[in-house]
Amino acid sequence: MNVIEIFASIDGEGSRQGLLTTFLRLHDCNIRCSYCDTTYSYGIDSTFTDMTVREVADAIESLGNHRITITGGEPLLQEAAVVELIDELNRRKSAKLEDEPCTDIKSTTGINVSVDAQDVLDSESLYDFNIETNGTIIPSFHRENVWFTYDYKTPSSLAEKSMNLDIFKVSREQDLIKFVVGSVEDLDCMRHMINQYPTKAQIYVSPVWGKIEAAAIIDYMNEHNLQNVRFQLQIHKFVWDPDAKGV
Ligand SMILES: Nc1nc2[nH]cc(C(=O)O)c2c(=O)[nH]1
Ligand code: SF4
Ligand SMILES: [Mg+2]
């Protein structure tokens, strides 16, 4: 696998915002968004490490989180290896759970579980994989513990023509479609797409960093009564330097 970075952080966006997550950022992207914040993941200046699936699994395992986000770049450019990795990690976790007696805690504690026991539960539970993909590629696999965050690239990205509109059709309740918007034209595009292409996915909207006031997006949501759109800021951009890597 061509790997840019593997790190533990909190997920800065999406449905598990704020929760500890391990990130695997894969090399290369098939589009070039005008506002890309991870240009180091592709192009001739990009440095990546060629790692085996086992080496990547070792690195992820050693960080201890059970929430994993696979991002890029565009991670589905390495789909076969991604599937191999998920299967490898799932196999390792199942083997561990079978070996360890404390799995009983699950069935006996119920909701009033103590903080310590909750930590055990969290570290022992199955992996939960989010694949952050750019909306140009329809994944050709499914696993029970894998869901997808599809970006819809609006006009100011200059990449909208590459969007695969089937993302609206194939996505499920656990999947997200995320509109990153930098202008009113982008918001109009989002409103048009969600009216035109009904989907089961959860719809999120976030500003392109530094391009549009957050309040302008919320005003727009009010004005157009967008009841099923969730506004979100990428919190990692507030916690760390917006250009920092590995966070
Ligand atoms: N903390 C943190 N959360 C993130 N959520 C999605 C990210 C991404 O780069 O895709 C990301 C990231 O790079 N850092
Ligand atoms: S899809 Fe993501 S990584 Fe690729 S150019 Fe757009 S923002 Fe950058
Ligand atoms: Mg991303």
ipTM: 0.96
Percent of the chain scored above 70 by pLDDT? 90
Residues annotated within a binding site: 10-12, 25, 29, 33, 35-38, 71, 73
* Domain boundaries of the chain, sorted by first residue: 2-239
Q: Which atom of ligand 2 is nearest to the CA of 35?
A: 7
- Report the mean per-residue pLDDT for the chain: 93
Cα 166 to ligand 1 centre (Å): 24
**In this predicted structure, which of 37-46, 48-57, 117-126, 201-210 has the lowest mean pLDDT?**
117-126
pLDDT in tens, 168-198: 999 999 999 999 999 999 999 999 999 999 9
Q: What is the mean pLDDT of residues 195-217?
A: 96
pLDDT value, residue 227: 98
CA of 188 to the centre of ligand 1 (A): 26
Annotated binding site for S-adenosyl-L-methionine: 35-37, 73
Three-state DSSP at 183 gives coil
241 or 101, greater pLDDT: 241
pLDDT at 37: 92
pLDDT of residue 99: 86
Which residues have CB under 6 Å of ligand 2?
29, 31-33, 36, 38, 41, 72-74, 134
Eight-class DSSP state of 13: S
13 CA: nearest ligand 1 atom: 5
- Sequence ranges of the binding site for Mg(2+): 38
H/E element, 63: helix 53-63
d(CA 149, ligand 3 centre) in Å: 9
Confidence of residue 42 (pLDDT cuts 50, 70, 90): very high
pLDDT, tens digit (0-9, with 9 covering 90-100), for 221-235: 999 999 999 999 999
**Coil vs helix vs strand at 132:** strand
DSSP three-state, residue 118:
helix
CA–centroid distance, residue 36 to ligand 2 (Å): 5
pLDDT of residue 209: 86
Give Cα separations from 2 to 41, 141, 208 (angstroms). Answer: 10, 20, 27
- Where would I find the beta strands (DSSP E) of 11-89? 20-26, 49-50, 67-71
CB under 6 Å to ligand 1: residues?
A: 9-13, 23, 38, 69, 71, 132, 236, 247
Per-residue DSSP letter, 126: P
Question: Could you read off the pLDDT of 80-115 as tens digits, one per residue?
Answer: 999 999 999 999 999 999 887 654 444 444 555 555
Q: Domain 2-239: which topology? A: TIM Barrel (3.20.20)
**Per-residue pLDDT at 246 exceeds 50:** yes
